Every structure is written in structure tokens, then in C-alpha cells.
Amino acid sequence: MKIAIFGGDGFVGWPTTLHLSDQGHEVHVIDNLSRRWIDTELGVQSLTPMDSIQERCRIWHDLTGRRINFHLLDIAKEYERLKVWLGEQKPDVVIHFAEQRAAPYSMKTDRHKVYTVDNNMNATHNLLAALVETDIDAHLIHLGTMGVYGYSSVGAAIPEGYLDVTVETLDGGRAQQEILYPTKPGSVYHMTKSMDQILFQFYAQNDGLRITDLHQGIVWGTHTEQTRRHEQLINRFDYDGDYGTVLNRFLIQAAIGYPLTVHGSGGQTRAFIHIQDSVRCIALAMGDAPQAGERVRIFNQMTETHRVRDLAAMISGLTGAEVVNLPNPRKEAAENDLVVRNAQFLELGLDPTTLAEGLLEEVVDVARKYAYRIDRTRVPAVSAWTRALGQKVERDPEGKKLRSVS
Ligand code: NAD
Ligand code: USQ
């Protein structure tokens, strides 16, 4: 199949690109490299040394004889070029990773909020409008987030996208309806993913677009089968206070003797998935495309849930790292339960990599190996959800005064 991977230079996009190329598909990466520019803006770099996308593609070709084609294009800003590209290339599958994906970055300042909404909403809508206009009937697979559901504890499992509800009719009777699960985003970033859902619902219904939305949990780990094959194919690994996600951050903190930064009591429960499983799920979703006219197919792409404080205890147990409870810069529930249905991927054959299996390897093979590249001053999470919360986050866990958030 011919596959277009929008955002294929990113953390989940790159290993997906390699996996699908390895399966024999013709793969095209379309990326504006904004994520690399954001590293420059923030003064940070991936823990792992990343080559340019062109160099990565060259190494893959030398190693396997397979070509990955790279196209520099901003899908949020260059609608006409995007439409022409799709019309000429006519991909069978379009995978959409191309959004600003960090919640703390999206809450940093008003400018970051505006950028995140502009970029994410336009990227998704441009893609949908161009698919209709070019009439190529590609299967669109989007990487969404578990965060669209919110993380509240109502004592029921979160279903895969849809909720059956009973409403009282005007004549006092009862009617059954199926609705998108009520969305409750916790950041501007998560809000854009909630809005994506409505765009998908409309275009599936109005134009018969075939769409799969993957509500993914927090991705952890670095390597996949393909990224291991050559040092220069290595994946990105974010550890800084904006882009680093909790488990990956705890791993590098342990590796450099930095206290594990638990926000608040650490009672927040979140869903997780290993990068290898994330890539496999995308390939599984490709093989299970909806028909034109079907509702958007939604999968919960996660394999286990954990409380933040339990993760910290697990890593502290493995490494001896100290754990600190910091004022939480985010406006979020201090404690929540999270029970999630993920039967669809398990039925399609997903065999999850568990934290218990993969954690030690990550500590040794990645966090300790590249610890020399870490800038300690970029570890604190300084992005606060409100001004009042920002005032509480003044010092880092080592007692140093933090730079102001601007
Ligand atoms: P990433 O930031 O590493 O990758 C996103 C890629 O998209 C980058 O290479 C960036 O340059 C590109 N991009 C952004 N805007 C673009 C535009 N307008 N035009 C072209 N390219 C653009 O993010 P990731 O961690 O790989 O996440 C990929 C997707 O998966 C995101 O949509 C994210 O919301 C979702 N997701 C990620 C996680 C996670 O833990 N990393 C969890 C759940 C969902
Ligand atoms: N947290 C800490 N200490 C830290 C960092 C985070 O306690 O040093 C806490 C946060 O307060 C939060 C939880 O850990 O309660 C998760 O934070 P995170 O940064 O790991 O994840 P999040 O901001 O939710 O975003 C990440 C990805 C995003 C994806 C989302 C999936 O960046 O792209 O959509 O995970 S989910 O969380 O399921 O919505």
C-alpha cells in the first residue's frame, strides 16, 4: 500500500514509518519539522542523538534497500500544496500525527495557546477538506488521546469512544442514543483533540470519509524492532519539563540522580502504552478500516493504567532514586481512578509489552547511556495552568530558583 505519514519525523511517527516500510509498504513522510524548531525555541534537545530526517532515510535505504520519501510541508498553513500532493500521490492510507502534542507547551503563554489551536485545528481540517476535494478514498488514521475523556472517576469503565444513553422524549417515553463520550479536556492541547473528534464525526457523516481515531495513552520507551537496527535510526526521547512525559522523565531523573518530580500527591492515574505496541496498533488499525458511510471507528490505544506515585515508587525501587512531591503546576484532579476498555486491539491480536518487562532495559540502555546529554536546568516543569499555580512553582526540587515562565 501507499502510505502518507503526516508528522512522520516525530516520536511516534518515526518508528511507525520504519515499521510500515519494513512491512513492504511505500511510505512517504510529510513533516514541517516544527518539533525540531520547538527544541530550539526551548533550548533543549532529545536525550538520544537524532540525525536529520534525510540522513535517517538514507541510513534506512543503505540498510534495507527500501526508500522512505520525505516531503517538507506545513499541513496547517499550506493547504493548496497539501491538496496537490494528495491528488498526485493518491495514498491508500493517511496517518495523521502532525499536531503540537505537549499539554504543558500548550499552556505556557497565550502565544502558545494560539499556536497550538491554529496548528492543530488547521492541520486536521485541511487534511479532511483536501481528502474530500481530491476524492481519493484514503483511510485516515488519526492519533488522538485518552485525555479527551478527562480522567474522572464515575465508577464505570471508559468505553471505546461511544456511550449508549437513554433520553426522555417529549411524550414521556424513552429513546436510546449513541453519542461520543462526553469530552472533558484538561489542557488547550487536549481541547484541540476533543475538537478533532467533532471534525471527524462531521466528515464521516457528510462525505463518507473512512476515519479511525486512536485514543492513545501516554507513550513510553524508546526503541522498536526497527530503530534498534542502527544507531542513527534511534528514536527521539523528550525529557524536558514541557515535552517529556511522566514515565520517560522519571527514567532520566533516576539516571542523573535528580529527585523524581511527582506533581502533588501523585494520585493521578493515567493510561500507558509502550512505543513498540503503539506502532503495532497503528498497523493493526490499518488492516481494519471502516467502510464509507460508517461512523468513525474509535479504539482506546493503551495497555495499562498506573498512578503517578506508583510509577515513582517502581522506578525508585529499581534505581534507589529519591522521590519528591512538588506543588502541581497543572489544574487537574489530585486523585482519580481510571478503568479503560481496550478489547478491540486485544481482539485484533495485540500482545502488550508491560512496564514490568521493559522498564529496566530503558533505564540501562537509554537513560544511563545518554545521561551525559541531559541539561539539568531543563528538567523542571515550569509551565503552569494558571497564574496562581505558577506562583507556587518557584523552586526546582534541588532548591534553585526557577526562571520565570514567559
Ligand atoms: P511529536 O511532536 O514528536 O511529533 C509530531 C510531528 O508532527 C513532528 O515531527 C512535527 O514536526 C510534526 N508537525 C506538527 N505540526 C505540523 C504541521 N502543521 N505540518 C506538518 N508537520 C507537523 O509528537 P508524538 O509524540 O510523535 O505524537 C504524535 C501524535 O500522537 C500527536 O498527534 C499526539 O497528540 C499523539 N499522542 C502522543 C502521545 C505521546 O505520549 N507521545 C500520546 C497520545 C497521543
Ligand atoms: N507528572 C508528574 N511529574 C512530571 C510530569 C508529569 O507528576 O514530572 C504528572 C502530570 O501532572 C499528569 C501526569 O503526570 O498528571 C501525566 O503527564 P504527562 O506529561 O506524562 O502526560 P500528558 O500531559 O497527559 O500528555 C501526554 C502526551 C500527549 C498525550 C497524553 C495522553 O504528551 O500527547 O495525548 O499524554 S493522556 O495522558 O492519556 O491524555
Check pocket membership of 31 for ligand 1, CB cut-off 6 A.
yes
Cβ of 301 less than 6 Å from ligand 1: no
Which of the four pLDDT bands, split at 50, 70 and 90, describes residue 394?
Answer: low
Q: How far apart are CA 313 and CA 323, in angstroms?
A: 8
Q: Look at ligand 1, atom 39, and give the residue with the nearest C-alpha.
A: 219
pLDDT at 375: 96
Closest atom, ligand 2, to C-alpha of 103? 23
pLDDT tens digits for 273-315? 999 999 999 999 999 999 999 999 999 999 999 999 999 999 9
Q: Yes or no: say if 8 and 17 are a contact pair by the CB < 8 Å rule.
A: yes
Residue bearing the CA closest to ligand 2, atom 30 = 218
| pLDDT at 305 (0 to 100) | 96
Say which ligand is closest to the CA of 336.
Answer: 2
Q: Is the pLDDT of residue 399 over 80?
A: no
User: Whole-model pTM?
Assistant: 0.97
- What are the tens digits of pLDDT across the range 13-47? 999 999 999 999 999 999 999 999 999 999 999 99
Position 402 pLDDT exceeds 70 = no
Tell me which ligand sits closest to the C-alpha of residue 29: 1
Residues 216-225 have pLDDT tens digits of 999 999 999 9
216 lines ligand 1 (CB under 6 A): yes
Q: Could you report the per-residue pLDDT of 318-337, keeping only the tens digit for each?
A: 999 999 999 999 999 999 99
Active-site residue set: 145, 189, 193
- Determine whether the shortest distance from the Cβ of 13 to ligand 1 is under 6 A: yes
pLDDT in tens, 92-144: 999 999 999 999 999 999 999 999 999 999 999 999 999 999 999 999 999 99
The reported pLDDT for the residue numbered 240 is 97
What's the pLDDT at 365? 81
**Average pLDDT over the chain, rounded to an integer:** 95
Q: Is the pLDDT of residue 405 over 60?
A: no
* Residue whose CA is at the smallest distance from ligand 2 atom 5: 246
Band (pLDDT 50/70/90 cuts) for residue 406 is very low
Taking the centre of ligand 2 as the mean of its atom positions, its distance from the CA of residue 9, in whole angstroms, is 21
Please say if the pLDDT value at position 382 is more than 70: yes
Average pLDDT over residues 349-365: 86
Whether residue 404 is predicted with pLDDT greater than 50 in this model: the reply is no
Taking residue 361's Cβ as centre, other Cβ atoms within 10 Å add up to 12
Please list, in sequence order, all residues whose beta carbon lies within 8 angstroms of the beta carbon of residue 406, skipping any fewer than 6 positions away. Answer: 109
SS3 of the chain: CEEEEECCCCCCHHHHHHHHHHCCCEEEEEECCHHHHHHHHHCCCCCCCCCCHHHHHHHHHHHHCCCEEEEECCCCCCHHHHHHHHHHHCCCEEEECCCCCCHHHHCCCHHHHHHHHHHHHHHHHHHHHHHHHHCCCCEEEEEEEHHHHCCCCCCCCECCCEEEEEEECCCCCEEEEEEECCCCCCCHHHHHHHHHHHHHHHHHHHHCCEEEEEEECEEECCCCCCHHHCHHHCCCCCCCCCCCCHHHHHHHHHHCCCCEEEECCCECEEEEEEHHHHHHHHHHHHCCCCCCCCCCEEEEECCEEEEHHHHHHHHHHHHCCCEEEECCCCCCCCECCCCECCHHHHHCCCCCCCHHHHHHHHHHHHHHCCHHHCCHHHCCCCCCCCHHHHHHCCECCCCCECCCCC
- Average pLDDT on 235-244 reads 97
